[in-house]
Structure 1
Amino acid sequence: MKLLQQIAWILVVVGALNLGLIGFFGFSLVGAVFGAGSNIVYALVGLSGLYALSELPGILRRS
């Protein structure tokens, strides 16, 4: 995997886990760790999600 793909997928997983924590416990791990800089992390997670979405057709073709 390319480095950009690895970073994007890691951020997608971080975002999913963070949303799970918010949904189940009302706790934002990203907000707790990054504080005021969490908006930047959320933006990177969103961009990573768009990148992962753009890879989805290729992933579906391979399976």
Structure 2
Amino acid sequence: LKVHYFIGGTPLADDTTKAADCHIAVGAPGRIRHLIECKKLKIDSVRLFVLDEADKLMESSFQTDI
């Protein structure tokens, strides 16, 4: 299994490369959502998501995403 982390502030190109073979995705909800929407992180191959910033997940902007 390949585990990768995805956080804001890092180059998106680096995350795009890591997302190609990711089985466990760890990171900020916004960055993970962006990678999924851009079809860089394929949810069919990810077995587990570990989301950081739990306080952000409670905001109304993430309610529909959860």
> Which protein is richer in strand relative to its size?
2
Larger Rg: 1
> Which protein is richer in helix relative to its size?
1
Tell me whether the two structures share a fold, i.e. TM-score over 0.5.
no
Which TM-score applies when normalising by structure 2?
0.28
User: RCO higher in 1 or 2 (8 Å CA, sep ≥ 6)?
Assistant: 1
